[in-house]
Structures are given as structure tokens and as C-alpha cells.
Amino acid sequence: MSKKDKRIILIAQCLVNPYCRVHILGQNFPLSQKIMNYLMEKHVGIIQYLCPETSAMGLMRNPQGRQQYDNIFFRDHCKELLKTPMLMAKEFIKNNYRLTCFLGLENSPTCGIHWGKHKVNRYQTESPNMVDDPDPSDPALAGIMAEILSEELAKENIKVPFLEFPALSPADSENRKKFWEDLRKAVEPNMVENKGGV
């Protein structure tokens, strides 16, 4: 790593603290350890925001779809939570650090990047379960927090890749391989170029 390439990353809190995940989905500490080990090994500073779901609804909340979080009150809560992390990111950038990317979590209604079509429950509201055969042409909205983060970064003219960890894919899947390639490209662009790809 070049001493001039000082790097930071914005990351969803559940990837640093798995206890923030919806309690019935379980925690994945090995996943967090792998991500943290990589970032620490590469000397990437981590900026995380408070989990909007936990800070709004507590640890014993039930899993919900994006639809339930898409309301004025929750959006305002997300904006409040982003104030300090955004100031920190701006301060680092002002002092010649490079914001490498945002890292969210697959199938998160708040911090996911590609929230596709989901099943509807018996109450006719969106469930956290994806449809069995998703149509590739269906719109894939970002989670509420990821959407607001994108808007806040755009206001500051900060452009970075938005990545999501494919937690639903097996460790040896193409999705996982592509994620690690994309993360390396964001964190170590010079290394990737020198190797002619990952």
C-alpha cells in the first residue's frame, strides 16, 4: 500500500456487530471477522453508522420488508443517524483520505443495495422473503438507509461504489467471488491493475 493512499470505508453496522441483525435470523461472526480482517490488513479505516432498525425498533424486532420502513418517520431517523458519519467522511476526505466504497448487506430492507421483488404475507404487506423465481427485469431498489446515504453523498458530490455482501450465497459461489473482486477493486485499485485483474 502506498503511504499516500489513506483509505476509509462506510459500512453497515451489522457487518461489524452481528448482534444488530434481526434476532431470529441469527448472527454471522465468521463473516464479520473475514471482512474486518481484510480491512484491517489493508489499513482501511472504518466508519459505521448506527443500525437504523435496531436504534428505531430495538433488538427484539420482527423481520420486515422495505415497504414497512419506507415512511417519513423512519427516513427522518436514517437522516439523523447519518449526520455524524457524513461529517466524519467529509473530514477524512478533506484531509486526503480516499473513501473507497459503501458496504451494505444483501436482502436488508435498510442497508441492501438491490432490494428486488419479495413475497407478500397474509396481511398483504411485503415480507423479508424474496420471491422464488425473481424476474431480472423487476426494479431493484436500494434499502431505505442505502438510498438516503446515496442522496447525502450526492449532495457533497462524493461518488463511490455501493457494494453489498451476498450473505445468502454459499461461500464458494460466483456471487461471493464477485463481491470480493469488487471490494478489492474499490480498496486496492492499483494492485488490481498491476495484476491485470483479480
Per-residue confidence of the chain (198 residues) as pLDDT tens digits?
Answer: 456 789 999 999 999 998 998 865 666 788 889 999 999 999 999 999 999 999 999 998 888 899 999 999 999 999 999 999 999 999 999 999 999 999 999 989 999 999 877 788 888 888 777 777 777 667 678 999 999 999 999 999 999 999 999 888 888 899 999 999 999 999 998 875 555 544
Residue 127 resides in a domain: yes
The whole-angstrom separation of Cα 86 and Cα 108 is 21
Residue 1 resides in a domain: no
CB 16 within 8 Å of CB 111 = no
Cell of 196: 491485470
Residue 105 resides in a domain: yes
What residues make up the domain containing 171? Answer: 6-189
Cell of 76: 427522518
User: Model pTM greater than 0.95?
Assistant: no
The whole-angstrom separation of Cα 115 and Cα 172 is 23
Q: How many domains does the chain have?
A: 1
Residue 198 resides in a domain: no
Residue 194 resides in a domain: no
Residue 197 resides in a domain: no
Residue 139 resides in a domain: yes
Identify the H or E element spanning 78: helix 72-94
Phi, psi torsion values for 23, nearest 5 degrees: -55, -35
User: What DSSP letter does each residue of 94-111 carry, written as one string?
Assistant: HTTEEEEEEEEETT-TTT
CB 118 within 8 Å of CB 131 = yes
